[in-house]
């Protein structure tokens, strides 16, 4: 970790080809690459500093591959993540099912990870309303049910993308303080516990 | 991960795949070619980087052993009717350029159309249950009955305790490779030998294994015979497409060798030692690529990389823009090293628009930040040296023109040093500028190669005149050489050119080859 200081680990999850990479690309490099679809291999990591109030917070963003092939690996990417951006494609109802799967997975394995439900390809839906397969209110209801923030974004136009990551950083900033105090006592207890068990094992 | 290491070491010690170290010290100072392995131009000074082998014999050796007890199906016979589906009846003359990979896949193609049938090379992968896994052209769904027929052919011959190897029909060959739990079938309209075609299918097999590991493949099909493997391979089709494209164009895959970026040895040594210094406990291989050329490779002591594995890495990096977005971290199986497990590769470009790509292969999947740190250390060290500037300059002109050799009639050549597993080749001259012409020349080299490596009657040298060019191929225990001359040249001239060329390579070997590979 010495090479770069990362404050918060953020993981992108979602079905393949929903546009996770495009979202990161838009946010980090302010561009949208037109061309044949290229799936992510494994995962890609980018560190991005972001201004929150007077502080600079560095987000370490893990852009994971959506392919099922890498599903077994996904744990290493979301373990310890402070935020997960679970993406679905507004024009593909199966991607929303996949998003539900990821939410379940996170709720079971990473309870401290804050979930952001992110709809992609909003520009397509704005161009042709009939393409929309996921109702805004259905998604909103689901987001409220799981206590997640909900965004509809377009990486092509950049709509709502910066807002999404800004929110991630702000939420991190406002909760970081609570965690820090909580962790301090937590570590103390843990150490006692550890040394207790250690000596116990030794005596056996 | 100790298991992995031990396995690698074991295969190195059993002798068959081990590089030859003898004579390395007696490296000839004379510029005349060393005809003995280890003294030829380009041979490494310390020890080889690769588990190298008697070129592609190693690749097909397993299949060869079975030859004895197999009946080759030369006559279509009863199967002829079914085959019409695959090959079409009349030979179609028109040449189809293999489409440039990574552009949109012609998946929508109608599989009953003449254009579909007339593709020069079809490759199909299916499961032993006959389920389609991959087709180079057309959608797999549309081909399920065709693949069913293929599987029927395989099982029919198997029932008689035989193995189907190939079917030769009018102007067309169907080659089978059964690699449980997969079956690979190639349908070709080329004059390449079965052995060459089998080698290509092997590559495709290894490509699939590199994504999933053989252990996982076996596990899946053991539990569910009719599993649809496309689910797991989704999004990787373009890797296979690209590999097939490379097989037609990349001399490295033909020669079972890798080419290096021409670079002054002083600069290369600095790059190598910087890479060597940026080590970590779990790091097994550090590979620096410039496009399709190797800049340097540092490996853990006693661990060797096989050229096939390296070509799979080249293909992975070269096919995808995914690693330009950030630091890539992906599981990868190197099937020639170990088919059972994944390595984890940290893949990143040195600079955003640079062609220089660094691949750090680690045994630990949790080690991303360690690898990231290794890269930073390497970059910091490199940035302080002038060698980095020399490297960047070298990347701008990654090849050389054949005129530098100073043999007027010589148009192009491939030279492989057997002991180092490295080859060198100039850029294509003006007469071979178009893609079609380059592929045609590669086809001619492939033809020469198959004569030199014929399973029963291998040739040591081969000279061929034609209207468009004269070709000479020569193999010794130290090197393989393929030369292309203008059609006006004579045989005497070609033979004398060999010595001149070898002297030139000897003179330039510091720049063209990696003579002193490093270990951590």
Boundaries of every domain in chain A: 8-184
**Confidence tier at A176 by pLDDT (50, 70, 90):** low
Q: How far is CA B52 from CA A188, B40, B59, B434, B479, in A?
A: 55, 15, 11, 33, 13
Q: Report the gap between the CA of B313 and the closest CA in chain A (Å).
A: 12
Q: What is the pLDDT of residues A14-24, one digit of tens each?
A: 999 999 999 99
Q: Is B232 on the interface with A (CB under 8 A)?
A: yes
In this predicted structure, what is the pLDDT of residue A179? Answer: 54
Q: Which two tokens stand for residue A30?
A: 């302010």
Chosen CATH of B258-396 out of 3.30.200.20, 3.30.450.30, 3.40.50.2300, 3.90.1150.10: 3.30.450.30
Give the whole-angstrom CA distance, residue A19 versus residue B241: 23
Considering Cα of B239, then B244, then B250, then B253, what sign does the dihedral take? positive
Q: Is B236 on the interface with A (CB under 8 A)?
A: yes
Specify the CATH architecture of the domain A8-184: 3-Layer(aba) Sandwich (3.40)
Within the 292-331 window of chain B, which residues sit less than 8 Å (CB to CB) from chain A? 316, 320-323, 325-331
Q: What is the ipTM of this complex?
A: 0.84
Q: Look up the pTM and report it.
A: 0.84
Angle at A94 between CA A91 and CA A99, to 5 degrees: 100
Give the whole-angstrom CA distance, residue B479 versus residue B476: 5
Mean pLDDT of B443-449: 93
Give the whole-angstrom CA distance, residue B402 versus residue B467: 21
**Confidence tier at B22 by pLDDT (50, 70, 90):** very low
Give the whole-angstrom CA distance, residue B390 versus residue B382: 11
Q: Let me know if A174 is exposed, middle or buried by CB neighbors in 10 A (0-12, 13-18, 19+).
A: exposed
Q: Which helix (DSSP H) or strand (DSSP E) does residue B123 occupy?
A: strand B121-127
Q: Is B396 on the interface with A (CB under 8 A)?
A: no
User: How far is the first Cα of chain B from the last one, in angstroms, to the nearest whole number?
Assistant: 18
Q: Is A25 on the interface with B (CB under 8 A)?
A: yes
**Confidence tier at A53 by pLDDT (50, 70, 90):** confident
Question: Residue B256 — left, alpha, or beta (φ > 0 → left; ψ -120 to 50 → alpha)?
Answer: left
Q: Let me know if A33 is exposed, middle or buried by CB neighbors in 10 A (0-12, 13-18, 19+).
A: middle
Instruction: Answer whether the bond into residue B181 is a cis peptide, omega within 30°.
Output: yes
Q: Which two tokens stand for residue B41?
A: 């131009």
Angle at B43 between CA B41 and CA B45, to 5 degrees: 120
**Confidence tier at B46 by pLDDT (50, 70, 90):** low
HSE at residue B419, side-chain half, CA atoms within 13 A, is 27
How many C-beta atoms surround the C-beta of residue B234 within 10 A? 15
- State CA A7 to chain mean position distance: 14
SS3 B499: helix
Mean pLDDT of A31-42: 87
SS3 A66: coil
Higher pLDDT, B191 or A188: B191
Res A35 pLDDT > 60? yes
Largest CA distance in chain A: 71
User: Which of B231, B365, B373 lies nearest to residue A3, judging by beta carbons?
Assistant: B373
| B326 with A63: Cβ contact below 8 A | yes
Res B335 pLDDT > 80? yes
Q: Is A200 on the interface with B (CB under 8 A)?
A: no
User: Which of A2, A24, A63 lies nearest to residue B373, judging by beta carbons?
Assistant: A2
Res B416 pLDDT > 60? yes
User: Which of A44, A69, A73 lies nearest to residue B325, judging by beta carbons?
Assistant: A44
Beta-bridge partners for B361:
B285, B345
Q: From the DSSP assignment, how many helices (H) and strands (E) are in chain B?
A: 16, 19
Q: Do domains B258-396 and B402-512 have the same CATH topology?
A: yes
Higher pLDDT, B449 or B29: B449
| B325 with A41: Cβ contact below 8 A | no
Q: What is the pLDDT of residues B353-368, one digit of tens each?
A: 899 999 999 999 899 9
Res A156 pLDDT > 70? yes
Q: What is the pLDDT of residues B201-238, one digit of tens each?
A: 999 999 999 999 999 999 999 999 999 999 899 888 99
- Which residue shows structure tokens 């040739």? B459
Q: Is B349 on the interface with A (CB under 8 A)?
A: no
Q: What is the pLDDT of residues B465-511, one digit of tens each?
A: 999 999 999 999 999 999 999 998 899 999 999 999 999 999 999 99
Q: Report the gap between the CA of B234 and the closest CA in chain A (Å).
A: 6
Domain ranges (residues) in chain B: 114-248, 258-396, 402-512
User: How far is the first Cα of chain A from the last one, in angstroms, to the nearest whole number?
Assistant: 37
Chosen CATH of B402-512 out of 3.30.450.30, 3.40.50.300, 3.50.50.60, 3.40.190.10: 3.30.450.30
Chosen CATH of B114-248 out of 3.40.1050.10, 3.30.499.10, 3.40.50.300, 3.30.450.60: 3.30.450.60
Q: Is A71 on the interface with B (CB under 8 A)?
A: no
Q: What is the pLDDT of residues B264-323, one digit of tens each?
A: 999 999 999 999 999 999 999 999 999 999 999 999 988 999 999 999 999 999 988 888
In this predicted structure, what is the pLDDT of residue A183? Answer: 45
Residue B498's nearest CA partner among B44, B40, B28 is B40
Chain A residues lying within 8 Å of B320, measured CB to CB: 38, 41
Q: Rounded mean pLDDT of chain B?
A: 82
């Amino acid at each position: 970790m010495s090479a770069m200081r990362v404050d918060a680990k953020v993981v992108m999850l979602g079905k393949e080809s929903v546009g996770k990479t495009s979202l990161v690309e838009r946010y980090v490099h302010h561009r949208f690459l037109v061309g044949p679809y290229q799936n992510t291999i494994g995962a890609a990591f980018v560190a991005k500093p972001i201004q929150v109030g007077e502080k600079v917070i560095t987000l370490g963003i893990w852009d994971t591959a959506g392919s099922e092939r890498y599903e077994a690996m996904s744990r290493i990417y979301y373990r310890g993540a402070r935020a997960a951006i679970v993406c679905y494609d507004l024009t593909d109802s199966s991607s929303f099912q996949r998003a539900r799967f990821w939410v379940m997975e996170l709720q079971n394995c990473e309870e401290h990870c804050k979930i952001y439900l992110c709809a992609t390809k909003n520009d397509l839906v704005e161009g042709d309303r009939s393409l929309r397969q996921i109702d805004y209110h259905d998604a909103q209801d689901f987001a409220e049910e799981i206590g997640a923030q909900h965004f509809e974004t377009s990486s092509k136009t950049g709509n709502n993308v910066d807002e999404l990551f800004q929110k991630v950083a702000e939420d991190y900033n406002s909760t970081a303080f609570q965690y820090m105090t909580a962790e301090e006592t937590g570590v103390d207890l843990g150490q006692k516990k550890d040394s207790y068990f250690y000596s116990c094992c030794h005596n056996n | 991960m100790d298991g992995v290491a031990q396995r690698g070491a074991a295969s190195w010690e059993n002798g068959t795949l081990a590089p030859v170290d003898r004579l390395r010290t007696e490296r000839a100072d004379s510029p005349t070619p060393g005809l003995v392995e280890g003294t030829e131009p380009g041979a490494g000074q310390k020890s080889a980087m690769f588990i190298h082998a008697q070129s592609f014999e190693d690749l097909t050796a397993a299949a060869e052993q079975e030859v004895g007890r197999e009946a080759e199906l030369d006559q279509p016979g009863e199967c002829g009717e079914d085959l019409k589906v695959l090959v079409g009846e009349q030979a179609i003359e028109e040449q189809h350029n293999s489409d440039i990979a990574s552009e949109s896949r012609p998946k929508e193609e109608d599989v009953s159309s003449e254009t579909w049938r007339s593709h020069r090379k079809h490759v199909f992968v299916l499961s032993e249950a006959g389920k389609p896994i991959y087709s180079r052209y057309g959608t797999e769904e549309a081909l399920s009955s065709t693949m069913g027929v293929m599987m029927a052919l395989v099982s029919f011959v198997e029932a008689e305790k035989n193995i189907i190897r190939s079917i030769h029909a009018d102007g067309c060959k169907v080659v089978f490779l059964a690699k449980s739990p997969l079956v690979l079938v190639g349908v070709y309209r080329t004059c390449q030998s079965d052995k060459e075609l089998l080698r290509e299918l092997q590559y495709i097999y290894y490509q699939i294994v590199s994504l999933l590991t053989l252990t996982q493949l076996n596990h899946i099909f053991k539990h569910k015979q009719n599993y649809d493997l496309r689910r797991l391979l989704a999004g990787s089709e373009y890797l296979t497409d690209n590999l097939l494209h490379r097989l037609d164009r990349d001399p490295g895959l033909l020669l079972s060798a890798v080419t290096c970026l021409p670079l002054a040895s002083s600069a290369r040594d600095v790059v190598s030692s910087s890479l060597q210094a940026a080590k970590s406990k779990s790091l097994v291989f550090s590979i620096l690529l410039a496009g399709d050329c190797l800049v340097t490779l540092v490996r853990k002591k006693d661990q060797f990389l096989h050229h096939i594995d390296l070509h799979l890495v080249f293909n992975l990096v070269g096919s995808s823009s995914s690693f330009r977005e950030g630091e890539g971290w992906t599981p990868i199986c190197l099937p020639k090293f170990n088919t059972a497990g994944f390595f984890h590769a940290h893949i990143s470009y040195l600079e955003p628009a640079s062609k220089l790509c660094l691949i750090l292969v680690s045994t630990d999947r949790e080690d991303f930040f360690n690898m990231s740190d290794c890269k930073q250390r390497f970059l910091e060290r490199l940035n302080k040296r002038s060698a980095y500037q020399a490297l960047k300059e070298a990347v701008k002109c990654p090849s050389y023109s054949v005129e530098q050799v100073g043999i007027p009639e010589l148009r192009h050549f491939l030279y492989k040093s057997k002991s180092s597993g490295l080859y060198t080749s100039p850029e294509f001259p003006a007469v071979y500028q178009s893609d079609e012409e380059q592929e045609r020349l590669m086809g001619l080299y492939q033809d020469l190669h198959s004569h030199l490596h014929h399973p029963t009657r291998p040739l040591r040298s081969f000279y061929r005149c034609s209207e468009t060019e004269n070709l000479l191929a020569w193999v010794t225990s130290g090197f393989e050489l393929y030369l292309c001359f203008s059609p006006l040249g004579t045989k005497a001239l070609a033979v004398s050119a060999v010595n001149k060329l070898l002297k030139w390579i000897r003179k330039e070997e510091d720049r063209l080859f990696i003579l002193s590979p490093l270990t951590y």
